[in-house]
Amino acid sequence: MKVSDVLKMAYSMEIGGMEFYNSQKEKVKSSKLGEIFTYLANMEKSHAEFLKRQIEKSDRGEKLDFLPESKEDSMFIDRMKQQKVETSNLDDDLGDFSIIRMAYLIERDFEKFYRKASEEAEEKEIKAVFAGLAKWEEGHAEMLKNELEDIIARNSIELGFYPL
């Protein structure tokens, strides 16, 4: 697969992720989750904008940009870890759990896609771009996994298995 094709697919995935978060942020019951989904929608939008610029550069035969460092992610994740969820009930948590799980799977899929693209890329800078995107998505997935684990712990849910 050509680099431009991978970039176009990645762009489409990021737009889809942004649309998912924007559509779900009003559906979650927890205001903390609403804040997380708003943040993730904005991050997916910035990823899409970055990818669009890379598609344009690739089409012109130019070298791709290096992925900018994202200190925002780690600061936001740390802040979310400190923030406690307001009082919730089991029904609200279970509704949120389903939505968070979908989001978690989206982020994991994005991470796997970018890791595979990085492994298969031949040029060093292209490998670096996709590896950086994979790392960002890994951080998003970890944040969502933490929220899932909090719901399980908060409600003393004993599933006998872990649905992740």
- Report how far residue 55's alpha carbon sits from residue 60's, in angstroms, rounded to the nearest whole number: 9
Q: Where are the alpha helices (DSSP H) in the chain?
A: 3-24, 31-59, 71-82, 90-120, 124-154
Least Cα distance to 100 among 48, 152, 50 occurs for 152
Does residue 161 lie within any of the structural domains? Answer: no
| Residue whose token pair is 């989904």 | 37
Does residue 89 lie within any of the structural domains? Answer: yes
Question: Contact at 8 Å (CB) between 75 and 101?
Answer: no
CATH number for 108? 1.20.1260.10
Does residue 160 lie within any of the structural domains? Answer: no
Structural domain for 111, as ranges: 3-154
Predicted confidence at residue 1, as pLDDT, reads 63
Predicted confidence at residue 65, as pLDDT, reads 81
What 3-state class would DSSP assign to 83?
Answer: coil
Does residue 30 lie within any of the structural domains? Answer: yes
Does residue 159 lie within any of the structural domains? Answer: no
| Residue whose token pair is 């759990």 | 97
pLDDT tens for the chain, 164 residues long, are 688 888 999 999 999 999 999 999 999 988 889 999 999 999 999 999 999 999 999 889 888 887 666 555 554 555 455 555 555 677 788 889 999 999 999 999 999 999 999 999 888 888 888 898 899 899 899 989 988 888 888 777 665 555 55
Does residue 50 lie within any of the structural domains? Answer: yes
Total tally of structural domains belonging to the chain: 1
Does residue 163 lie within any of the structural domains? Answer: no
Does residue 83 lie within any of the structural domains? Answer: yes
Q: Is the dihedral of CA 29, 77, 72, 101 positive or negative?
A: negative
